[in-house]
Amino acid sequence: AYRRITKISLSHIRGPIADASLLLGWTLNLKAFTGNLPELYQSDAAAADLKWQKTYGDVVRIKGILGEDRLLITDAKALQYIYQTSGYHWPKMWERRELSRLVTGPGLTWADGDVHKRQRKIMLPGFGTPESRAFLPVFLGTANKLAEKWKDMISTSGTDGSMVVNMPYWLSRATLDAIGEAAFGYRFGGLDDDKNELANAYTTLLSETFGSPSLPAIFTISTWAHLPAWLRHLFQQKSARLHHARATEKIGNSVAKSLIDAKANALMGGKGGKDVMSLLGILATPIYILLTPDTMLHKYRTIMLAGHETTANTLNWTLLELCKQPHIQNKLRAEIWDAEATLRANGRTQFEVSDFENMPYMTAVVKEALRFHPALHHAYRQAGRDDVLPLSTPLQASDGTVVTELPVPKGLKIVASITGYNRNKLVFGEDADVFNPDRWLRPSDGKKQTVVGVYANVLTFAAGVRSCIGWRFALYELHAFIIELISNFEFELTPEAEHIRRHPCLVVAPTIEGREKEGAQLPLRVRIAVKGE
Ligand code: HEM
């Protein structure tokens, strides 16, 4: 109570009103204890963010647990300060780290401070530009395998040269195979075997564990930082909602363990591969001896999950947008076919990263998909000290004053809205709410911008010391899949695809309205594209 009364106040910052009545008739109103969090977590991904941003501006005060103030931030300068300037002074929110620990173990996405610095330093050399470029053939190969699979399916059970395909099922398996080969030199076999245990476990992991949290779940997750560790672990072991996460942890650990053993043996025998883990050589150096076996397991599980669900969902949303606007799809296909013809004319068979320079429309589509549909819509941080946030746009406070920079108290929890920033009109223009790849082809207006994100100034891969280490990887993988899929197929909306929900479940997955329990669903009609010579 003393801390609450004496800390820097945010009461003048405007925001939505939360239901504050403690009782509903004779029953306790849980909503009053969870403030605006239900709307934030239960609506379509970022729907609340965009609504509040429109009404209150780029810094919005929302209510968290038991009336505590939090901020939802989409302001470029404030985000740049939090992500880049402050380094480790804005650590991840503890309760969200605990959630990522549940699905990947205490790996890089969980770690903070010095532990994070150490872990990241070990991993980074495997994810540089030359290393990532070298994996393009792996990504093209996996995408081609998926294309061949779909062609077989269409020829055996399609009608009229087409069939309806559930995108998330296949894209998740294909990106899992791609990350397996590139990061570990191992074929998971997700595309070959529909009974693949790991691929099947991942299929509904995120939607079952994180999708549509109930009010008691929101309350528990937001307060478990205050529980003693034994009670928290007991809850996590017993919770029915976490059953799938526990089962996947077992499968993930056993797959990761066999990969590590095989890799360590190969490296010790002088047979390193070209995958990230071989490049890092951790398993053949004294560092490995210093790391506990568990630390290696968590590194593997982090890459396995972070490296495939994100890319798969970005592809899901890209294909949906290309179906909604067929003229974009056709223009993209024409560019790809032209580039393929040039490749053949030069006596080559496979694209290299340098060829992408001659495919500006494809790069524009990738940038726009990353901007419009970030695979993660929120990031959660907490002020490690009393601080002052700089602002790009002055804020109109509720007492009529104008705020040009914002003092905030230590411990303040913030939601960095990745979607909100990516739709910020000051950064991306008045048409920021429209999916339009052409924006990336317009000449620059010469205005100096506050640069926040690591790529194209979108926040999709986060920024600063905690930015995505796999962003170059993801970029080349996205290009590879788009080339193979758009070159070989035409994609069309199905009646069910008209009712797709942006389902928040750690990542943003497509689900069909009212059928969220079935997990990620995006049925699109896939037709073999016929090239006119
Ligand atoms: C389109 C694809 C991807 C998107 C949108 C994406 C997005 C992100 C974001 C937003 C973060 C920061 C999360 C936070 O602050 O809580 C992150 C972190 C991370 N990503 Fe990615 N990612 C993608 C692909 C990948 C790939 C392919 C890999 C690995 C091969 C990867 C590995 C990681 C790791 C290990 C971290 C933790 C970094 C750290 O905390 O230092 N990601 N990613």
Ligand 1 atom at minimum distance from 462 CA: 10
Q: How far is the CA of 319 from the centre of ligand 1 (A)?
A: 21
Nearest CA to ligand 1 atom 14: 379
Q: How many CB atoms lie within 10 A of CB 20?
A: 12
Q: How far is the CA of 278 from the centre of ligand 1 (A)?
A: 20
Q: How far is the CA of 14 from the centre of ligand 1 (A)?
A: 32
- The H-or-E segment that residue 125 falls in is none
Give the integer Cα–Cα distance in Å for 488 and 333.
Answer: 9
> What tokens appear for 141 in the block?
């190969």
- Amino acid 87 reads G
- The H-or-E segment that residue 366 falls in is helix 360-372
Give the integer Cα–Cα distance in Å for 287 and 77.
Answer: 39
Longest dimension (CA), the chain: 78
Q: Is the dihedral of CA 483, 489, 491, 494 positive or negative?
A: negative
Q: Looking at residue 283, what is its pLDDT?
A: 54
Give the integer Cα–Cα distance in Å for 113 and 57.
Answer: 31
Q: Looking at residue 114, what is its pLDDT?
A: 92
Give the integer Cα–Cα distance in Å for 213 and 375.
Answer: 19
Cα 480 to its chain centre, rounded Å, is: 19
Over the chain (533 residues), the average pLDDT of each successive run of 10 is 78 87 68 88 96 97 92 98 95 86 84 90 88 94 97 91 95 94 87 85 83 85 80 83 85 84 75 74 53 70 88 98 98 97 95 95 98 97 96 93 95 97 96 97 85 95 95 97 98 96 94 89 96 66
Q: How far is the CA of 532 from the centre of ligand 1 (A)?
A: 40
Pairing of strands 523-528, 489-493: antiparallel
Ranges assigned E (strand) in 312-375:
none
Give the integer Cα–Cα distance in Å for 460 and 458.
Answer: 6
Ligand 1 atom at minimum distance from 127 CA: 30
Q: How far is the CA of 67 from the centre of ligand 1 (A)?
A: 32
Would the annotation count 505 as a binding residue?
A: no
Nearest CA to ligand 1 atom 16: 379
Nearest CA to ligand 1 atom 39: 466
Q: How many CB atoms lie within 10 A of CB 261?
A: 12
Going by C-beta distance under 8 Å and a sequence separation of 6 or more, which residues neighbour residue 215? 30, 31, 34, 38
- Strand-pairing partners, residue 71, are 61, 414
Q: Looking at residue 26, what is its pLDDT?
A: 65
Q: How far is the CA of 253 from the centre of ligand 1 (A)?
A: 20
> What tokens appear for 382 in the block?
């907490």
Q: Which residues line ligand 1 (CB under 6 A)?
A: 108-109, 120, 179, 183, 302-303, 306-307, 310-311, 314, 374-376, 379, 460-462, 466, 468-470, 473-474
Q: How many DSSP H helices and E strands does the chain contain?
A: 23, 13
What is the pTM assigned to this prediction? 0.94
Q: How many CB atoms lie within 10 A of CB 116?
A: 18
Report how far apart, in Å, the C-alpha atoms of 288 and of each of 127, 241, 275, 385, 469 are.
19, 35, 17, 35, 20
- Amino acid 142 reads T
Q: Tell me what ipTM this predicted complex has.
A: 0.99
Q: How far is the CA of 27 from the centre of ligand 1 (A)?
A: 42
Ligand 1 atom at minimum distance from 374 CA: 5
Nearest CA to ligand 1 atom 11: 468
Residue from 311, 382, 468 whose mutation best tests the ligand 1 pocket (most atoms within 8 A of CB): 468
Ligand 1 atom at minimum distance from 107 CA: 35
Give the integer Cα–Cα distance in Å for 194 and 139.
Answer: 20
CA proximity to 477, closest of 387, 356, 372: 356
Q: How many CB atoms lie within 10 A of CB 103?
A: 26
Nearest CA to ligand 1 atom 31: 470
Give the integer Cα–Cα distance in Å for 34 and 43.
Answer: 15
Q: How far is the CA of 469 from the centre of ligand 1 (A)?
A: 6
Q: How far is the CA of 59 from the centre of ligand 1 (A)?
A: 25
The DSSP 8-state label assigned to residue 58 in this structure reads S
Q: Looking at residue 298, what is its pLDDT?
A: 81
Nearest CA to ligand 1 atom 3: 310
Residue from 95, 310, 466 whose mutation best tests the ligand 1 pocket (most atoms within 8 A of CB): 310
Nearest CA to ligand 1 atom 20: 468
- Amino acid 7 reads K
Q: Looking at residue 366, what is its pLDDT?
A: 98
The answer to whether the CB of 332 falls within 8 A of the CB of 366 is no
